[in-house]
Amino acid sequence: MNHGIRRREFLREGALAAGAAACSVYLPHAAAGVASADSRIDILLDEPLGTISPNIYGHFTEHLGGVIYDGLWVGENSPVANLQGIRKRLVEEMHKIKAPVVRYPGGCFADSYNWRDGVGPADKRPRRTNFWNDAETKTAPENHKYEPNRFGTNEFIRFCRLIGAQPYLAANLRSLPAEEFYHWVEYCNSPAGSTSLAEMRAAAGSPEPFNVRFWGVGNESWGCGGNFTPQEYAVEFRRFTTWLPHYGPDLCLVASGPYSEELSWTRGFFEELLRKGADQLRSVYGLSLHHYAWNLSRGRTTDWDKGKGSALEFDPVDWYELLREGQRVEDIVEGHWRTMGEYDTEHHVKLIVDEWGPWYRPGSEATPGNLLEQIPTLRDAVFSALTLDVFNRHPEKVAMANCAQLINCLNSLYLAHEDKFCVTPVGHVFAMYAAHQGGQALRTVISAPAVRYDRDGKPASFWGLQGSASLDGKELRLTVVNPHVSEARECSVAVRGGRIVSGSATTLTSSDIHAHNTFAEPAALEPQTKKLDVNGAELAVALPAASVNKLALVLG
């Protein structure tokens, strides 16, 4: 890690350079005067891009470290407030963000998991070695290393129902036969009283089917999910999906897709799949895509361990490096989409970005011993906001996305341990952006001075502002990220073809780019909302340095 600019020095220099960031105010156009603006955003009401699938605001929970045990599940007899064993505070928070869908049980864990271990009487469920056992530390809790199966399909569906989200289950393709996949579908979806598995479900308290629509067919099948070539995986995919029982809802099957820019996986998968004819496409709802931002080495290495940076200790160049790694997702989405179009000209198959987020080296766990736990900062909020803006801008391509992961792992929205809980800056971004769900994405043209900085002796630049807009009836939402660590932007926002009658502005920022929430200081970083005094087609806003912003505008 480069400590070239120490945190204290950076703050002092940043404050001198920025000034405006600390006292940013939102000004109506008339008062501010567009002439003073250094940036401009035009929202084009008559250029809709498509409906933003609420599911791009999805989540991911894996039996990994403290995600399930301690994070989500505390148990019915816990002194921690719970709803049938599920952490009550988590349920309450997830209502605020309108959580649409949750992926489960993995991740890599999924391809070593037998769903039967997690159903039936809780005291009879077996204890198994968790997929992540080898990576766990000596001090990790036993139930992180040896899976007690106390939380399984029924408890997961209970969680989904409590938060009002759809379940998205990942089936085991590496180590179970296809038969177990359709039996899991049968357990979840066969009508009350129809099959033995429906009776087993009823015995656990759920006579009515779960109606699970979204099913992943393996996970990262190029790696932990079987180490397949794309051609081998396509053969397995065909076999696993040739027959599945359909009861009510159409099953949406997600094929295990590439990592980041790996176009050869996408090509190989489609080529082999379609060797059996074009109608094979009908069995695929989506192609999953994973992208983690982990390499902060500034081009020095591609080594998975050596390339990672620190979650909490970073300088401005590390900040830009992370955002740069995150921004790659836009080219990645476009690249795979183009490649998919070579085989699927009508774009029947959508992209499902079912794992995304920053991944740092160990050392910032809120609860020591929790594998892959890191404390998200303002940097991760900006990263998450710019990622969600990318998905908003490509509504015809991305049908679902799942932030990795929901709680106590990687880009967590929440951190929890025993009775302690906090919302991270990432959680606040999801709350701010929830308003985009189901809206009509609008083309938005943004111009702003680029960020320029010194990247180890070489000049580097990064875009100055990025964002997305959506319309729902008369309600227009614009979200914008200012990635500059020390310069605020004065921005003129114009709604082409409309008139704004009222609005509010919500901003998440801090004069310290490392700002984050902890159990001791859970409200250190929270968004602030102000009413806008505006009437007309244009307004001027100040977008603070290092900020995530949402304008909620009502049109006349």
* Best CA proximity match to 87, nearest among 184, 182, 155, 20: 155
| CA 545 to chain CA mean position, Å | 24
Strand-strand pairing, 101-104 and 58-60: parallel
What are residue 200's phi and psi, to 5 degrees? -65, -40
C-beta closer to ligand AHR: residue 219 or 492: 219
400: enclosing H helix or E strand: strand 398-403
User: How many residues sit in the footprint of ligand AHR (CB under 6 A)?
Assistant: 10
Q: Is 376 in the site for ligand AHR (CB under 6 A)?
A: no
Residues with Cβ < 8 Å from 70, sequence gap 6 or more? 141, 367, 370, 408, 416, 417, 418
Distance CA 58, CA 36 (A): 39
In sign, the C-alpha dihedral spanning 356, 357, 359, 363 is negative
**Residue 342: active-site member:** no
Amino acid in the structure at residue 520: A
C-beta closer to ligand AHR: residue 371 or 485: 371
Which of residues 371, 404, 413, 441 is near ligand AHR by CB under 6 A?
404
Residues 333-362 that bind ligand AHR (CB under 6 A): 355
**Residue 325: active-site member:** no
Amino acid in the structure at residue 387: T
Catalytic residue among 147, 236, 355, 538: 355
Which of residues 14, 54, 106, 544 is near ligand AHR by CB under 6 A?
106
CA atoms within a 13 Å half-sphere pointing along the CA-CB vector of 406: 31
Q: Which two tokens stand for residue 46?
A: 């008559």
Q: Is 108 in the site for ligand AHR (CB under 6 A)?
A: yes
As measured in angstroms, the least distance from the Cβ of 101 to ligand AHR is 16
Distance CA 517, CA 432 (A): 17
Place of tokens 């309450």: 92
Strand-strand pairing, 166-171 and 146-147: unpaired
Site string for ligand AHR, 159-198 (x = CB under 6 A): ----------------------------------------
As measured in angstroms, the least distance from the Cβ of 357 to ligand AHR is 8
C-beta closer to ligand AHR: residue 85 or 307: 307
Q: Which two tokens stand for residue 275?
A: 């060797």
Choose one: 88-96, 103-111, 202-210, 243-251; the region binding ligand AHR (CB under 6 A).
103-111
Catalytic residue among 136, 220, 262, 272: 220
From residue 517, give the alpha-carbon distance in Å to each of 258, 415, 459.
Answer: 33, 9, 33
As measured in angstroms, the least distance from the Cβ of 196 to ligand AHR is 32
From residue 515, give the alpha-carbon distance in Å to each of 108, 375, 382, 426, 530.
Answer: 31, 10, 12, 12, 21
**By Cβ distance, which residue is nearest to ligand AHR?**
107
C-beta closer to ligand AHR: residue 355 or 490: 355
As measured in angstroms, the least distance from the Cβ of 100 to ligand AHR is 19
What are residue 91's phi and psi, to 5 degrees? -60, -45
As measured in angstroms, the least distance from the Cβ of 411 to ligand AHR is 9
Distance CA 250, CA 169 (A): 14
Choose one: 45-53, 385-393, 403-411, 417-425; the region binding ligand AHR (CB under 6 A).
403-411
Which of residues 112, 143, 149, 219 is near ligand AHR by CB under 6 A?
219
Q: Is 374 in the site for ligand AHR (CB under 6 A)?
A: no
As measured in angstroms, the least distance from the Cβ of 254 to ligand AHR is 13
C-beta closer to ligand AHR: residue 315 or 354: 354
Site string for ligand AHR, 407-446 (x = CB under 6 A): ---x------------------------------------
Please give the positions annotated as active site: 220, 355
Residue ranges binding ligand AHR (CB under 6 A): 62, 106-108, 219-220, 355, 404-405, 410
